[in-house]
Amino acid sequence: MIKLTGDNIFKVLVAVIAASAIVILLLNTYVLITGSANVFATSGFGFISGRNWNFDIPSFGVLPAILGTLITSGIALLVGVPLSLGIAIFIVEMAPRAIRVPFSYLVEMLAAVPSVIYGLWGMLVLRFWVLDYIETPLNTHLGWFPLFSGTPTGYGFLTAGLILAIMIIPTVASVSREVISAVPNSIREAAYGIGATKWEVIRHWVLSYGRSGIFGAIILGLGRAIGETMAVTMVIGNASGASGMPVSLFQTGQTLPSLIAGGFFDSQTALLSSAYIGAGLVLLAISLLINVAAHVMMTRVLKVKGGAVE
Amino acid sequence: MVNLFEKLNLHSYRLRKFKNKFFYILCLICVIIAIVPLLSILFEVIVRGAPAINLQFLTGKGLRGGIGPAIQGTMILIGLTGAIGIPIGVLTGVYLAEYGTNKYASWIRSINNILTGFPSIIVGITAYSLIVVGLIGGFSPIAGAVALSFILIPIVARTTEESLKLVSNSVREASMALGIHRWRTIISVVLPSAKGGLITGILLGVARIAGETAPILLTIMGSSFFFGGFNESMDALPLRIFINSQLHTQAAQTQAWGAALVLILIVLTLNIGVRLASRGRYHNKVTR
Amino acid sequence: MDNIKIQSVNLNAWFGTKQALKDINLSIKANAITAIIGPSGCGKSTFIRTLNRMHELTPTAKMSGQILLDSQNIYDPIVDPVMIRRRVGMVFQKPNPFPTMSIYDNVAAGLKLTGARKDKNLDEVVKYSLQQATLWDEVKDDLKKPGTSISGGQQQRLCIARAIALQPEVILMDEPTSALDPIASAKIERLVVELKKNYTVAIVTHNMQQASRVSDYTAFMYLGNLIEFGSTKDIFESPKNQLTERYITGEFG
């Protein structure tokens, strides 16, 4: 029997409050599952594999949005990860000490900018850079290639992916920076000692030693890209239903979050609102999967590190 | 034997040297590429936003008036969210730091990690379904605050745990040696010693929720009027920026940039303030 | 004079504002073992780290003066430290084999940087280096295992093999046995004596018995100064400086 001392009461109190994390997770999952029961009952698996978003028939499918999410996040990783790694390497291994701190400051300020401001900047600035310097030239010269086909407007998958690339940089770069900093100096010294150049030390030793940690950083960035809503909604063009099935990079489309943010309030019927909540459930499932993978990855890294250092 | 070694020295030394230089420049370019959008965003927000700003802009309402309701709404949201999220977050952090060696605590920690990476639109859907549709039956600042506190709590919990763990055990022992109970020690000795870290975490969390748009889009909806009660829709800065960006008129966009300037000033002030306040610790983290 | 391999001339070194070496003039003879002894913090590790330009890898580290390797100043602006480190190899205090590489790759890593591919030649060099480091017989069946899977003493010999594989002219050893047990240390000591046939060796040690057992010449350093330098016999049997005498008789350290 536990005595009712002040210490025990306090401990139980904070333990109960700490359960808020579980409550939040379960509450969100519960609401999404019950909220979307209607659309899953009507459409079944077709909700995942279907391409229409039409409440006259009614027929709802999130396949275009799932593909749009994967494509924009893919572009984000393709562009953002090399940049982030370059930044992390530069800050930890190359930059003179005096500029390390201000540089990491600047990069981390990217994380402080609210996503709606990224969206505004994307709509009114980045869109025209993408249109003038990437889409139009590629479309003019390589327009026969499906990826570059269609009429470039600056809105669409490419711009959304590029905005996401910028937005994941602070996440991927700062985690990679920590991973790289954690590589023991004895390894660097040994590598320099056999006459490796600085780049060889980074390439063959630092990156190889930190690779699982860096992989974890990339997955965290992927998680951020997949869940990002406003910036994407503002530049992706929000083509709904089958017209959002991705063919060209320059085409307007949809991601799961932008589908919800863009249309949630048009939901006049219970079924439609259930369909949007269903899209949220699919998004939650993908995001949980990625988060758990990142988590497993990172804990494994820490364990491996514990064994590998000496 | 010597012969053998010489045969192995194939690679051009100049190529290795060139690669070294090449990748140095490449990494430097990566940094520059990342900084360009930041500078461009700051530049555009200042250049396009600053002309809009005057007293009427900050206090008036409506497209021709100003963003008074949005500023007021953001302040109300920060206040309400803080009132819900900060105590829960801090106490969760206290549990994790002071009693968190068991399996339950490591579960909480993992779930908190997951919640930090949660798509923000999801908490919007949840608060919408529970409060806007359920509890209150209309758009409500409370629903917005609940959604945002789902985002704030894990951030505050994590930073609280981290900063409490930095408090040396000798502080706890010294207090407990005086016969002070553990819970009193935590509240009156440990928490105050970790004050700097706590405030840093809270401010960073607040900066984050002040800029969140998706969750409040579904819960407070936006409004051209000042706060009208807890069962009414309300405006907020990020929402005003989003709504105006969808209206393709000059006036609306100018107002959006002005609102963006105000929002970015709030968020960056919080961030820079935090950085300056915790400069020593931050410095240690960057250098190895 | 002609058998001097590496020589420091008016060498000073700093960490930030703290001066770690003060005007060191020391000549290390070819195909001999030079021991550098002195109490902790006397600058002995810093000294040998200036000999292959490892010193400058420490942030805030500065130096002035010259290091002449075969009478060429290795701090000349046209000299690349990467080339110097191939000629002047190093073995560190704690065994630090590359954890992500196999035993084989640990030895071959330096050569692979210059384009060596895994072939018969490379196999021969790896075998030769491991033999020289008296490790071959113990690991020849485990070449694919990670470099960190063997015992501490074996790891340190692996690090020596790794240095040998580059055919350096000089091998620097920074307290190579301080992290090892006596049996493993004895093996390394015997190995060091073998090495001087082919290489010039400079060894930092805080173990005076070790210095007297293995070295031909001994330098005694104290608070960043070179106090006394001479043949090991002279230093240990008839030191000229009182500080040296007090140190080797164990009065402080």
pLDDT in tens, C44-59: 999 999 999 999 988 8
Inter-chain contact B95–A18, Cβ cutoff 8 Å?
Answer: yes
Instruction: Tell me if chain C has a CB within 8 Å of the CB of B286.
Output: no
Q: Provide the pLDDT for residue B146.
A: 95
DSSP B221: B
pLDDT at A243 over 80: yes
Residue B29 CB partners (closer than 8 Å, separation 6+): A86
| Chain B residues closer than 8 Å to A202 by CB | 23
Mean pLDDT, range C171-199, rounded to an integer: 92
Q: CB neighbours (10 Å) of residue C150?
A: 20
- For B4, name the nearest residue in chain C, comparing CA atoms only: C121
List the single best residue of A26, A38, A99, A230 to mutate versus B (max B Cβ within 10 A).
A230
pLDDT score of A66 more than 90: yes
The answer to whether A15 contacts B95, with C-beta atoms less than 8 Å apart, is: yes
What is the spatial distance between Cα B232 and Cα B222, in angstroms, rounded to a whole number? Answer: 10
- The pLDDT value recorded for residue C205 is 92
In this complex, the residue of A14, A97, A112 whose CB is nearest that of residue B271 is: A112
Contacts of C98 in chain A (CB under 8 A): 187, 190-191, 205
**Band of pLDDT at residue A241, cut at 50, 70 and 90:** confident
- B7 close contact with C: CB closer than 8 A: yes
DSSP one-letter string for C18-30: EEEEEEEEEEEET
The structure's pTM equals 0.89
Provide the pLDDT for residue B111: 92
Residue B186 · residue A10 · CB < 8 Å: yes
Contact between C114 and B10 using a beta-carbon 8 Å cutoff = yes
Among the partner-chain residues C83, C115, C125, the one whose CB lies closest to the CB of B5 is C125
- Residues A176, A183: Cα–Cα separation, whole Å: 11
**Residue C132 near residue C164 (C-beta atoms within 8 A):** yes
Convert the pLDDT of each residue in C4-60 to its tens digit. 999 999 999 999 899 999 999 999 999 999 999 999 889 999 999 999 999 998 888
Kindly tell me if the per-residue pLDDT of A39 is higher than 70. yes
Cβ proximity of A58 and A271 under 8 Å: yes
Closest by CA position to A249, among listed A262, A237, A261: A237
Which pair of tokens denotes residue A60?
């709802």
**Nearest CA distance, A107 vs chain C (angstrom):** 23
- With 0-12 / 13-18 / 19 or more C-beta atoms within 10 angstroms meaning exposed / middle / buried, residue C12 is middle
- Nearest to residue C60, comparing CAs of C116, C121, C105, C17? C17
Which subunits sit against C, judged by 3+ Cβ pairs under 8 A? A, B
Q: d(Cα B211, Cα A167) in Å, to the nearest integer? A: 14
* Structure-token pair, residue A307: 């064994």
Q: Calculate how close chain B gets to C101, using CA atoms only, in Å.
A: 20
Q: With a cut of 90, say whether residue B153 has pLDDT above it.
A: yes
pLDDT at B29: 95
- Provide CB contacts within 8 A for A201, sequence distance 6+: A93, A188, A191, A192
The C-alpha atoms of residue A223 and residue A226 are separated, in whole angstroms, by 5
What's the pLDDT at A305? 46
User: Which of B22, B94, B125 is facing A14, going by the closest CB pair?
Assistant: B94
Let me know: does C38 contact C247? Beta carbons within 8 Å.
yes
pLDDT of residue A69: 95
pLDDT (tens digit, 9 = 90+) per residue, B101-118? 899 999 999 899 889 888
Owner of token pair 């994407």: A232
Measured between CA atoms, the residue of chain B closest to residue A12 is B95
Helix-helix angle B250-277:B279-286, to 10 degrees? 90
* Ramachandran angles phi, psi of C52, nearest 5°: -125, 25
Closest in C59, C60, C96 to A190, CB measured: C96
Q: How many CB pairs under 8 A join A and B?
A: 265
Interface test with B, best of A113, A128, A254, A299 (most B CBs within 10 A): A113
Residues in chain B within 8 Å Cβ distance of A10:
182-183, 186
Q: Do C98 and A187 touch (CB under 8 A)?
A: yes
**Given an 8 Å threshold on Cβ–Cβ distance, is B213 in contact with A229?**
yes
Written as six digits, the tokens of B119 are: 């798509």
Residue A54's beta-bridge partner residues?
Answer: A59
Distance CA C190, CA C182 (A): 12
Structure tokens at B27: 């990494």
Closest CA to C12 of C27, C32, C26, C28: C26
For chains B and C, CB pairs below 8 A equal 32
- Name residues whose C-beta falls within 8 Å of residue A263's C-beta, 6 or more positions apart in sequence: A238, A240, A276
Which is nearest to B207 in space by CA: B272, B113, B135, B286?
Answer: B272
Task: Note whether B1 contacts C83, CB cutoff 8 Å.
Answer: no
CA–CA dist B140, B118 (Å, integer): 22
Domains of chain B by residue range? 71-236
The distance of B1 to chain C (nearest Cα, Å) reads 8
The beta-carbon neighbor of A308 closest among C60, C85, C99 is C99
Q: How many Cα atoms within 13 Å fall on the side-chain side of residue C135?
A: 29
Confidence of residue B149 (pLDDT cuts 50, 70, 90): very high
Q: Say which CATH class A63-269+296-308 falls into.
A: mainly alpha
Q: What is chain A's length? A: 310
pLDDT tens readout for residues A97-124: 888 888 888 888 899 999 999 999 999 9
Find the range with the poorest average confidence among A42-56, A66-80, C77-91: A42-56
Question: Which of the residues A189, A194, A197, A212 would you substitute to probe the C interface, choosing the one with the greatest number of C C-beta atoms within 10 Å?
Answer: A194
Going from N- to C-terminal start, the domains of chain A cover 63-269+296-308
Q: Which residue has the higher pLDDT, A44 or A255?
A: A255
- Collapse the DSSP code of C102 into the 3-class scheme (helix H, G, I; strand E, B; otherwise coil) and give the result: strand
Q: Which residue type, as a one-letter code, is found at position C155?
A: Q
Question: Beta strand C217-222 with C170-174: parallel, antiparallel or unpaired?
Answer: unpaired
Which residue shows structure tokens 């997955």? A219
- Provide the H-helix boundaries in chain A: 6-18, 20-43, 46-49, 63-89, 97-112, 115-121, 127-129, 136-142, 157-181, 185-193, 198-200, 207-209, 211-227, 230-235, 256-263, 270-308
User: CA-CA distance, B258 to C138, in Å (whole number)?
Assistant: 73
Of A197, A309, A310, the CB nearest to C82: A197
3-class SS of residue C213 = helix
Q: How far apart are CA C22 and CA C24, in angstroms?
A: 6
Residue A287 and residue B129: Cβ atoms within 8 Å? no
pLDDT band with cut points at 50, 70 and 90 for residue A280: very high
pLDDT of C126 strictly over 60: yes
Predicted pLDDT of residue A1 = 57
- All residues at 6 or more sequence positions from B194 whose CB lies less than 8 Å from its CB, including other chains: B160, B163, B164, B166, B167
Q: How many angstroms separate the CA of residue B283 from the nearest CA in chain C?
A: 15
DSSP codes joined into one string, A209-227? HTHHHHHHHHHHHHHHHHH
Q: What is the DSSP pairing of strand C33-37 with strand C200-204?
A: parallel
- Let me know: does C22 contact C206? Beta carbons within 8 Å: no
What is the average pLDDT across B122-136?
91
Contacts of A162 (CB under 8 A, 6+ apart): A75, A76, A79, A126, A130
- Cα–Cα distance for residue pair A151/A86, rounded to 1 Å: 34
Beta-bridge partner residues of B204: none
Average of per-residue pLDDT values in chain A: 89
B153·A20 Cβ contact <8 A? yes
Q: How far apart are CA B239 and CA B234, in angstroms?
A: 10
Q: Which pLDDT belongs to residue A72?
A: 96
Per-residue pLDDT reduced to its tens digit, C158-176 = 999 999 999 999 999 999 9
Average pLDDT over residues A207-228: 91
- Give residue for tokens 């410095």: B283
CA A108 – CA A42 distance, rounded (Å): 46
Over 90: is that where the pLDDT of B240 sits? Answer: yes
In contact, C121 and B7? CB cutoff 8 Å: yes
Q: Could you say which architecture CATH assigns to the domain B71-236?
A: Orthogonal Bundle (1.10)
Q: What is the mean pLDDT of chain C?
A: 91
Local confidence band at B155 (pLDDT 50, 70, 90 cut-offs)? very high
Whether the predicted pLDDT of B228 surpasses 50: yes
Domains of chain C: 4-92+168-248 (3.40.50.300)
> What average pLDDT does the segment A10-29 reach?
94
Count of all residues that appear for chain B in the document: 288
Q: Do B245 and A120 touch (CB under 8 A)?
A: yes
- What secondary structure does DSSP assign to C166-180, as a single string? T--SEEEEESTTTTS
Q: How far apart are CA C228 and CA C158, in angstroms?
A: 33
With an 8 Å Cβ cutoff, are B257 and A166 in contact? no
Among candidate residues A222, A173, A237, A73, the one with its CA nearest the CA of residue B38? A173
Give pLDDT, residue B282. 42
Residue C251 has a pLDDT of 80
Closest-CA distance, A79 to chain C, in angstroms, reads 28
